[in-house]
Amino acid sequence: MSMRIDYSKAAPAGIKALGGVYGYITQSGLSAKLIELVYLRISQINGCAYCLDMHTRSLLKMGVKTEKLALLQVWREAEALFDAEERAALAWAETVTRVAETAIPDEDYRAARIVFDEKQLVDLTIAIGLMNTYNRIAIGFRNPPQAVAEHAAAAA
C-alpha cells in the first residue's frame, strides 16, 4: 500500500488545526490512557491500520497489558479488565462513532452521564470526533502504519 497523498504537506494548516484540537484534548483533564483506549477502539471500528499501530504502541508504552489490548474489541465480554470509566467511555465511543446506525439513544447518553460530568462528556465526544476524522484521513489517503514502513525499510 502506498500513500495516495501526503496530507501533512498538501494541507499543513488543516492538519495543524486538527493538532490544536488534539492539544486541547491532552489538556482536558481526561486521562491520557483513557483517551488512547478510546482512540484505539474507534480505530478498530473504522479499520484504520495506521492508527491501530500508533495507539497500540502508545498504550504499550503507558504500561497497558497486552491482554487488555487484545480484548479491547470485545471489552464487554472482558469487562473485568476495564474499570467503570473505561467501560463508559468505550460504550460512548462506539455509539458516537456509529451514529448513523445508533442515532445515539437516550439510554447511551444517560449511561455516559452517570460516569462523566458535562465537560468531561463534551471533551470525550470531541476526542471521538477527532479520532474519526484522523481515521478517515489516514484511510482515505492510505497512510501506512509505522510497522509496515519499518518492515519495508528493513527489507530494502
DSSP designation for 76: T
Tell me whether residue 1 is in a domain: no
Residue 148 has pLDDT above 80, yes or no: no
Q: Which domain holds residue 57?
A: 11-155
> Which residue in the block uniquely carries the three cell numbers 463508559?
88
Residue 152 has pLDDT above 80, yes or no: no
Would you place residue 151 in the very low, low, confident or very high pLDDT band (cuts 50, 70, 90)? confident
Tell me whether residue 106 is in a domain: yes
* Number of domains into which the chain is organized: 1
User: CATH number for the domain including 66?
Assistant: 1.20.1290.10
Tell me whether residue 131 is in a domain: yes
Length of the chain: 156
Question: Residue 143 and residue 28: Cα distance in Å, rounded?
Answer: 28
User: What's residue 14's pLDDT?
Assistant: 98
| Mean predicted confidence (pLDDT) in 42-54 | 97
User: What's residue 155's pLDDT?
Assistant: 85
Tell me whether residue 2 is in a domain: no
DSSP SS3 for 64: coil
Residue 32 neighbours by CB distance under 10 Å = 12
pLDDT tens per residue, range 99-115:
999 999 999 999 999 99
Tell me whether residue 36 is in a domain: yes
Question: Residue 86 and residue 81: Cα distance in Å, rounded?
Answer: 10
Q: From residue 151, how far is each of 46, 144, 154 by CA, in Å? A: 23, 11, 5
**DSSP-derived secondary structure for 92-150:** HHHHHHTHHHH---HHHHHHHHHHS-HHHHHHHHHHHHHHHHHHHHHHHTTPPPHHHHH
Residue 149 has pLDDT above 90, yes or no: no
Nearest alpha-carbon partner for 111 in 101, 121, 119: 121
> Which residue in the block uniquely carries the three cell numbers 491500520?
49
Tell me whether residue 71 is in a domain: yes
User: What's residue 130's pLDDT?
Assistant: 98
**pLDDT, averaged across the chain:** 96
Tell me whether residue 4 is in a domain: no
Question: Do residues 142 and 122 make contact, with C-beta atoms less than 8 angstroms apart?
Answer: no
Who contacts 143 (Cβ-Cβ below 8 Å, separation ≥6)?
A: 3, 7, 50, 137
* pTM score, whole prediction: 0.94
